Amino acid sequence: MHRLYSPLTAGALAALAALASGCALAQVPGPGPIEDVEPEVTRQVAAAVAAMAADPAAAEAPLLRACPAKAAPPLELLQRTVDGEERSYLYRARCGKALLVSATIGKNRAIKHLRLKTE
């Protein structure tokens, strides 16, 4: 019995395998929350995100349309890092879809950088 080999078949199988692995990766949930030992920072970041949502001119406003009006979205702390006098935080906000909120707090305890993107 002869076995037929076709590059098209092998290519189709490779494409199917890549598609299946991509689908499996898309379903893997993001990292889970960690303990929030600085809730005052979380409140500060949430208030800043709420202010962005209320400002239609803010670049991130379209991402925040699903958030409740005039309310700070609930934030889950995913990561906290310290670099000298600066602290960086990564939060997940759920406003319709999951958003990642990254914030950097300077030595004066003010927000230096605040960025949002979809998860």
Map out the domains of the chain as residue ranges: 39-118
Chain length of the chain: 119
Pairing of strands 86-95, 97-105: antiparallel
pLDDT in tens, 68-83: 766 778 899 999 999 9
CA 49 to mean position of chain CA atoms: 13
Measured distance CA(66)–CA(7) in Å, rounded: 48
74-106 residues labelled b (16+ CB within 10 A) or e (exposed): ebbbbebeeeeeebebbbbbebeeebbbbbbbe
Candidate CATH numbers 1.10.3470, 3.10.450, 1.10.3210, 3.30.70; the one for domain 39-118? 3.10.450
Q: What is the mean pLDDT of each run of 10 residues along the chain (119 residues)?
A: 48 47 53 91 93 83 75 90 96 88 95 93
